[in-house]
Structure 1
């Protein structure tokens, strides 16, 4: 059996250089597949940690990393209403909480604007939307002799 494949002859293959007992290859720096994966993963984590350290070190003048706007976003997510604004019934995402354009959360019984006394003017909003989508195109008059 004379083959030209070095892997078939056993060349280029030896035990894993990390000492786990499996065979490694030259393509994976002499490591087995598991040790090579761990090596790549740890080097990726080290690069990411260095990038994060440089970002943290370059914070703003006061030494703060984030802005106040990001903190207010997380606070507003925590303060979401879980009750119907009209009947005070508990509503959740699974129960069908409907958020209206008047910034209220309503149950399925009060989801329509007529049912909860909506203050949002849908007619004016629709007209403004149509005006923006379809601008008035008026051609100039031709001068006749």
Structure 2
């Protein structure tokens, strides 16, 4: 009875299960599926990895071309003479975030405190006065107050 109802549901929904299992197209002996392009999971993973490596190799020459120095010509607006100016574009490699205190060089790991001056500090040097902070907190506070409290001027009243 249950098998007949399953057959009816399959006919109504249009979802059919395959009659026989599909062998991997690479003939490795395992079974594949339609989702993995009729390959087993291992062969599919290897082909996906090979495709991603191929795309990285194709993109790499483009990146190496952009790191070459650029030569530009600078023109003066008034005299019209051309001066050869060379600009060397230095590629700034992003440094990994430091995991040491800038004052005592102690390893801080995930518990490091970021300061507004840009450094990472341990629990002993996290306060501005303990690590000789160069950030001007007073000026930032003044600017913030000035921005939040605009000057309000009333209209002048004419005296009679």
What range is the shorter-chain TM-score in?
0.5 to 0.7
Separation in 2, partners of 1:78, 1:110: 14
The answer to whether the Cα contact below 8 Å between 1:96 and 1:108 also exists between their aligned partners in 2 is no
Q: Pick from 12, 17, 28: which aligns with 1:20?
A: 28
**How many residues get paired?**
130
Q: Where does residue 87 of structure 1 map in the other structure?
A: none
Give 1:49's aligned residue: 57
Deviation by residue 1:73-115 (Cα, 9 ceiling, x = unmatched): 63995997342xxxxxx644268778575x8x687289463x7
Q: Per residue, is there more helix in 1 or in 2?
A: 1
Corresponding position of 1:70:
92
TM-score (norm 1): 0.54
Identify if the C-alpha distance between structure 1 residues 119 and 54 changes in structure 2 by more than 3 Å, giving closer, same or farther. Answer: closer
Tell me the distance in 2 between the aligned counterparts of 1:109 and 1:26.
59
Look up the match of 2:74: none
Instruction: Confirm or deny: 8 A CA contact 2:23 2:30 kept in the other structure.
Output: yes
- Contact persistence 2:99–2:112 (CA under 8 A): no
Cα contact 1:98–1:106 (8 A) shared by 2: no
Query: C-alpha separation between the residues in 2 aligned to 1:75 and 1:14?
Result: 48
Structure 2 gaps of 5+ residues are: 11-15, 71-88
Q: Is the 8 A contact 2:31 2:40 kept in 1?
A: yes
Q: Distance in 2 between matches of 1:134 and 1:30?
A: 68
- Please identify which structure carries the higher strand content: 2
For residue 86 of structure 1, what is the aligned residue in structure 2? Answer: none
Q: What is the deviation of 1:16? A: 1.0
Mapped contact 2:99–2:107 kept (Cα < 8 A): no
Work out which of the residue numbers 141, 149, 152 in structure 2 matches 1:134.
149
CA distance in 2, matches of 1:77, 1:96: 9
User: How far off its partner does 1:24 sit?
Assistant: 1.8
Work out the CA distance in 1 between the residues paired with 2:23 and 2:124: 67
